[in-house]
Amino acid sequence: MSVPSRALRLILPGFAACLLLLGSVDAEASILKELEEAIRLVESGAVDRDDVKMTKRVVEVAVKVPVKGAKERKQVRYARWHLLLDGDQRALYEREGWPTYRLRESYAGSVTELWTYADKKITYVFQGNRLVETRLF
């Protein structure tokens, strides 16, 4: 047996082991779990086939949940409102929570919101999403 064939006998198994290790790392980084979940949702009927969009760059699954009754509609409105907050309004909401009273005025192209926290006896005035005034009462 010559030296090159002995070296190949030692190198090839090591190379194969490296390929197996790299392949397993790549599998952990894939989106296979998400794809299987999307397929499971379609097969179970929880998601319509048309609500799963797969392109070369993005996999999008739209889950539709029917909203029944006034209580659930109110919960959806609050959740959506909370998601749309940004700037000073988001910071205040996360610090103080939902205001006792909330007044939104749209006048001459400018939107002003007054958030009143009755238990703390304070009103915050916003222009857009920026805090412009704090009033104590």
Q: Print pLDDT tens along the chain (137 aa).
A: 555 555 445 554 554 554 444 554 444 556 677 777 777 887 788 777 777 777 766 767 776 667 788 888 888 888 888 878 989 999 999 999 989 999 999 999 899 999 999 999 999 999 988 999 999 99
Strand spans (E) along the chain: 52-54, 59-61, 101-107, 110-117, 122-127, 130-136
**pTM score:** 0.54
DSSP state of 51: G
Q: What is the pLDDT of residue 134?
A: 97
